[in-house]
Structure 1
């Protein structure tokens, strides 16, 4: 009897210790699933899955879908859907490629390599993405055409607009400055990557400190000091471990020699250098921070979640839900353009099949990340983690020799399972 009481007491102590960390159980579950996927594929590939090279490639492959997934959170939260994101990415990519190779040289006399070529192309692409997104939002919000129909039509229209703009041809190579946003052609290098890692850790600790101080100021319950230290340690370990893996991926010797030759230098014998953190990852981090601030700290974010929770009540409360729909799809269009920069820069050219099936990957990433299809709830970090889980599955299956059709079957099954688990979770928690 005494042993039973002691066991129960230890269990309660462990539970209370875990509760003190105040970690979202859904987030913990997704992290656990991601770790499990990585470990399983690392065993199946005999240790090749978690090598610095594969982690680097996995990271840059995830960025494009993850950026769009952050916008899809807002779309789904407001009880809509966007099936056109892959086609819109292709159109924005075509617009930027044509701007670099034809419009800017012919109209402004600026060729590839000019400092203004890439910024002009990116600006034009972003304006195009926002305009198309706003048009979708107007059709949905003001003409009350269902989002499914509007964006399904957009999938067909914009994919073929992209083909028409380029006459079905591959456009490239793209501007070298533009290619920096693709990943392997643009990284911070070892030194700046470690500087970035340290700054990121300090910023995370500062965020924890200010959040705690704010809770104390407003007389809210705060975590024990030990819980704050443990959480801070976990965050620092994750950030610095990630940076360590990326800097451990060394630039091939021949490529390094060409870099030294381009700079008019001779590479020292035995010299090695790591890639470091890709610039595309920095773009994703900036997007994630901005989208999180919009979701949690702005009136627009509150309106988005209020409308998703109860559209009728939101309209009665004075929220212009029609204009809100336009804004949400405009944001989605902008993020498609940013993703187009990353995707085409990674390829170093624009191709007709760029963004194919991305709409399904983006929706799946948002849903796997915990965004409710019924609307009203979802997180930016969840969508990014969902994109990482999906890309890990596909990358791992490719490494073990699973054919593409079977990869899609597995991803589809995982998507259905994720929705089922989400339904069970909401029933249990009463969300």
Structure 2
């Protein structure tokens, strides 16, 4: 009796600051690595790396790979791999480019500039990506051909199918509205960017409050109020700081002058205009939110992670793993099509080399972001952060003057190192 009284009176073990804030150490490590990369390249480039202009360019260059990386998380979590995403992007891009420039003008008389042209082209591209992805999933799930073989074949097939669709030509320029999804040609401006930033901040704060309320309702332990305030402050600073940096990048005076001349107007003296948030970044944010909700709040998401954790147990519990595989690869195809919109819109045309080596960048982004190759574990935000780290490395090395072959060597070495660190981390923490 006395012993039990002593045990009950014993103080609770002290928690560290990170434990109190409930911050994922792996995520914190990736953020630290990203900050370190930025600081190192900023020093090597004499302060040019962390300028608003370069951060803007870095952001829009990351979007295409990051979108596909969110889908690659589901692929790898279920113990598969997709080597065809770059080639599938090229095929979807070719289909959308031909739809805009050849098919719609010929069949329906809808040329470039018609309000329906870009949306019909995007719909056709998304359907094309979904069908090809579902076909891959059917070969893998129902015919039990290994995903590595199916998607390796897809890499060869769809890369060259894109070439035949366009007869090896560069197709462009694309529709003006379509080009707004690429980045530089489609931005919100300063005022609208602040509105979006404040809405994002409000959404983040509401999410923190709702999560705390849900824990209290189910009698789960919650963070102290000061920890919630600190976390909210960090999130708010990150969101509003990001908007402020992008708003600091102003449209060049010559381009503004040309825009005024095209409208038959004279630019007022001293007039300036900020680019603000690119529309492509808003697309990535929307996809990140949707994919996170799918992963955490839907039956499909639970089935994905359950299958990756133990495929045999998942099948015995009644999950149709074959049909699940079809749906996962179809989703990957849709994301490849959306990435094709962003990539071709940024280039303002479809080119034969679009998406080349993207499959390797996408896989690397997911793995660097903490997705376990053994399956069962991965996060959407981790994959996006992995894509940002990859693009930062490549952009920084390009600004320093590192040759392209050496850039690929460094990226390959970073990928292997990231997997090694992940393995060591899982062994020490006892993670699956």
Give the TM-score normalised by the residue count of structure 1: 0.96
The structural deviation recorded for 1:218 is 1.0
Report 1:379-418 matches (<5 A).
Answer: 379-418=379-418
**Aligned match of 1:48:** 48
Deviation at 1:259, TM superposition (A): 2.2
RMSD: 1.1
Instruction: Name the residue aligned to 1:6.
Output: none
Partner Cα separation in structure 2 for residue 106 and residue 64 of structure 1:
30
CA deviation after TM superposition for structure 1 residue 415, in Å: 0.2
Unpaired runs of 5+ in structure 1? 1-11
Q: Given the alignment of the two structures, is residue 83 of structure 1 paired with residue 112 of structure 2, yes or no?
A: no
Aligned runs of 1:15-414 on 2, under 5 Å? 16-414=16-414
2:427 aligned with 1:427, yes or no? yes
Secondary structure, counterpart of 1:258 in structure 2: helix
The Cα of 1:429 is off from its aligned counterpart by 1.1
CA shift, 1:267, in A, is 1.5
Q: Distance in 2 between matches of 1:132 and 1:63?
A: 22
Q: Flag as ranges the 4+ runs of structure 1 deviating above 2 A.
A: 12-18, 258-266
Number of residue pairs aligned between Structure 1 and Structure 2:
420
Question: How far apart are 1:254 and its partner, in Å?
Answer: 1.4
CA separation of 1:267/1:212 partners in 2, compared to 1, >3 Å: closer, same or farther?
Answer: same
The 10-residue stretch of structure 1 (258-267 or 70-79) with the greater mean CA deviation from structure 2: 258-267
The 10-residue stretch of structure 1 (378-387 or 210-219) with the greater mean CA deviation from structure 2: 210-219
Farther off after superposition, 78-87 or 250-259: 250-259
Structure 1 residues 330-358: Cα deviation after superposition (integer angstroms, max 9, x where no partner): 00000000000000000000000000000
SS of structure 2 residue aligned to 1:23: coil
Find the residue that maps to 2:277 and give its secondary structure: coil
Q: 3-state SS of the aligned residue for 1:231?
A: helix
What whole-Å deviation, never above 9, does each CA across 1:386-405 have from its counterpart, x for those lacking one? 00000000000000000000
Segments of 5+ residues of structure 2 without an aligned counterpart are 1-11
Q: Structure 1 CA distance, aligned partners of 2:66 and 2:186? A: 19
How far apart are residue 15 of structure 1 and its match?
5.5
